[in-house]
Amino acid sequence: MSISGDPLPFIVERVAGSDRVSARDATTFYNLTTNIENVFIQVELDLPMPKGTELWVSGFSTLGSSHGKVRLQGNGALPIVSGIGPGLENGQPIEYEFVATKSAKEVLFQSRNVTLTIVDRKNSRQQQHIQTIYFSTLDSPNTERN
């Protein structure tokens, strides 16, 4: 498996009266060649996100099943694509979404590492790639401070 692309920094502005604001990035792609049945891709966040913020990830596949949007919370690995069968996938997107909810305080620019792992259950082999996600929240001039 190879990963190409790095998400741009997520900087969202919290607006008065808004329950949630978000930013998406779909510039990451993966290529995968396998001759094994039942391969899956999982993701894991190294640390929990700051209070009131969320990080979501989606993986897509033509050879397996996507799990849709998966929320990363820093408490273990979660599958994003499973049941990948033999074949070749090129340019399959991995999409990230950073969310700031109404309860989010202003978050200074920081980062989290996301580990993407392809797992071959049959032979217990794994291959990992790490992407660094940068993010921050800003208050608009009309946003009340929490």
Q: Which CATH number goes with the domain that contains 111?
A: 2.60.40
Domain of residue 41: give its range: 2-139
Residue 20 lies in a domain: yes
Tell me if 145 is assigned to some domain: no
pLDDT at 26 over 70: yes
**What pTM, to 2 d.p., does this model score?**
0.89
> What per-residue confidence (pLDDT) applies to 30?
93
Domain count of the fold of the chain: 1
**Measured distance CA(102)–CA(132) in Å, rounded:** 25
Specify if 10 maps to a domain.
Answer: yes
Q: Which amino acid is at 113?
A: N
Residue 143 has pLDDT above 60, yes or no: no
* Averaged pLDDT score across all residues of the chain: 90
Kind and range of the H or E run holding 23: strand 20-34
For residue 33, tell me if it sits in a domain. Answer: yes
Where does the pLDDT of residue 10 fall: very low under 50, low under 70, confident under 90, or very high at 90 and above? very high
Residue 94 lies in a domain: yes
Residue 78 CA to residue 116 CA, distance in Å, equals 10
Q: What is the pLDDT of residues 95-126, one digit of tens each?
A: 999 999 988 888 999 999 999 999 988 888 89
What is the model's pLDDT at position 121? 82
Residue 66's nearest CA partner among 85, 82, 42 is 82
Q: Is beta strand 110-120 parallel, antiparallel or unpaired with respect to 125-139?
A: antiparallel
Instruction: Name residue, tokens 């920081």.
Output: 110
Question: What percent of the residues of the chain are helix, what percent strand, and what percent coil, each to the nearest 5?
Answer: 0, 60, 40
The residue ranking higher by pLDDT, 16 or 6, is: 6
Asked, for residue 86, whether it belongs to a domain, the answer is: yes
